[in-house]
Amino acid sequence: MTKDIGKVLIVDDDEDVLKAARFFLKKHVQSIHTERNPENIPGLLKNNTYDVILLDMNFARDVTSGREGLHWLSKIIEIDPQAAVIMITAFGDISLAVTAVKQGATDFVLKPWQNEKLLATVTAAGNLRNSRLEVAHLRSRQEQLSADMDQPFHEFVGSSAAMQQVFNTVLKVAGTDANVLILGENGTGKELVARALHRNSNRKNEAFISVDMGAISESLFESELFGHVKGAFTDAASDRAGRFEIASGGTLFLDEIGNLPLQMQSKILRVLESRQISRLGSSKTVPLDIRLVCATNMNILEMAAGKEFRQDLLYRINTVEIHLPPLRDRGEDLQLLAEHFLNKYCRKYHKPMKSLGAAALNKFYKYHWPGNVRELQHCMERAIILCESRVLKPEDFNFSTAPAEGEGIVFENYNLEDVEKTVIRRAIDKHKGNISQAADELGMTRASLYRRLEKYGL
């Protein structure tokens, strides 16, 4: 039979009580320690950990008041705050037992006890002890995570002037509810900035909800963002809150907002102006209290000038703009970032600590990093996994700085429309028909790409 209860300590000055308890409980617990002198309790707790402690309320010096028991109860809890202590009394003094429970005891038993009652009480106390330890562990872990997260830029590595300017802007803006627009190429860390804004805001204890706007199809747009009620459409089997509603009280991060078609932009604008939403299929309005942070890798100002992004929506989302520099413009951060990822992935994959050789670092400085920090991170992770030597060399990193032989585009003529048509077709083929990715590589919006596809019959 498996004994779920571990070590039990019984403290009582009555030898008969100790013998009776040991005789019965030894069949149900892993080990039992008995003690007649309560003065030895501190020493026992210093050298041992007990899952359950049974403590007499009255010892020889103080037969009936229970003060000795309460004294030693407080000592036990002082030494081990998660201790599960069961008080033992022969007098059935309920008020005294209640006092003991109020002061931290888990439960009490009366002498003479019923064996079934004693076992049930000890088992419950053992389970409570395990729960307390688990909660304490989780709380400790959460406190450490929170301490790490409370570092303003714990995920950011960089001493360059460009990044210091970003840090300063984040610190100035974070404490306000101003809407922020983060601009930067793919892989520069736009979501990290959004999370830093949230972490340093008055909403840091509320939700941070991230939404990839480029990944939401038009058919699911309203349901995903604003929610729906049961029966609103065929698959709506139950009520569901949307991302806006879930984020209320906290921060809503709309990533890749430049990918939004104009029709969807108008719906977002309406919600931001009214500060309320209605779930799909419902006329009931739900008030919103969100801090809005948006990001895009597209030239959204140029898009607005070209009527591809609503000017009024742009006014709403960019009270403050934060421009993230590409990695090629922050060369002084390159070594810091590389060593940061090196240490991170050596720990993650339990590898001996490695170093980045001077030749490999020189190769880094010569590369233009089109994928920015994300590309560097993936390169370092791959190298840590595959490299067996203690020093990373240039051959441990493979960069594609130019098209491979035979992959260049050959044009039959240099008519601009024909050239554009060829380039668009190649981009779509490369990304297996993914319009968002193709548009991103071509440097245009999805709407612009759709218009050109229609124009050229592609």
CATH of the domain at 384: 1.10.8.60
Lowest mean pLDDT among 47-56, 128-137, 398-407: 398-407
Give the pLDDT confidence score for residue 364 in this predicted structure.
Answer: 93
Q: Say if residue 136 is in the same domain as residue 262.
A: no
Give the pLDDT confidence score for residue 423 in this predicted structure.
Answer: 83
Interhelix angle 67-79/94-102, rounded to 10 degrees, is: 20
Q: What's the mean pLDDT in 280-289?
A: 90
Q: Say if residue 137 is in the same domain as residue 186.
A: no
Share of the chain above pLDDT 90, in %: 49
Q: Say if residue 205 is in the same domain as residue 95.
A: no
Q: Does a structural domain hold residue 406?
A: no
CATH number for the domain harbouring residue 284: 3.40.50.300
Q: Say if residue 97 is in the same domain as residue 64.
A: yes
Q: What confidence tens digit (pLDDT) does each residue in 235-249 have? A: 888 888 999 999 999
Q: What confidence tens digit (pLDDT) does each residue in 119-173 have? A: 999 999 999 988 888 887 776 666 555 544 444 455 678 888 889 999 999 999 9
Parent domain of 30: 5-143
456/367 Cα distance (integer angstroms)? 36
Burial profile 58-95: b = 16 or more Cβ within 10 angstroms, e = fewer: bbeeeeeebebbbebbeebeeebebbbbbbbbbeebee
| Helical (H) or strand (E) element with 52 | strand 52-56
Q: Does a structural domain hold residue 123?
A: yes
Q: Say if residue 122 is in the same domain as residue 72.
A: yes
How many domains does the chain fold into? 4
Q: Does a structural domain hold residue 382?
A: yes
Q: What confidence tens digit (pLDDT) does each residue in 355-387 have? A: 999 999 999 998 989 889 999 999 999 999 999
Among 300, 323, 346, give the residue marking a domain's end.
323
Q: Does a structural domain hold residue 126?
A: yes
Give the pLDDT confidence score for residue 405 in this predicted structure.
Answer: 38
Q: Say if residue 443 is in the same domain as residue 369.
A: no
**Higher pLDDT pick, 396 / 139:** 396
Q: Say if residue 122 is in the same domain as residue 177.
A: no
Instruction: Say yes or no to pLDDT of 307 above 80.
Output: yes
Q: What's the mean pLDDT in 68-90?
A: 89
- Supply 279's token pair: 């779930």
CATH number for the domain harbouring residue 434: 1.10.10
Q: Say if residue 118 is in the same domain as residue 181.
A: no
235/78 Cα distance (integer angstroms)? 57
Among 323, 349, 384, give the residue marking a domain's end.
323
Q: What confidence tens digit (pLDDT) does each residue in 190-245 have? A: 999 999 999 999 999 899 999 998 888 888 888 999 999 888 888 888 888 999 99
Q: Does a structural domain hold residue 148?
A: no
Among 287, 304, 323, give the residue marking a domain's end.
323
Q: Does a structural domain hold residue 266?
A: yes
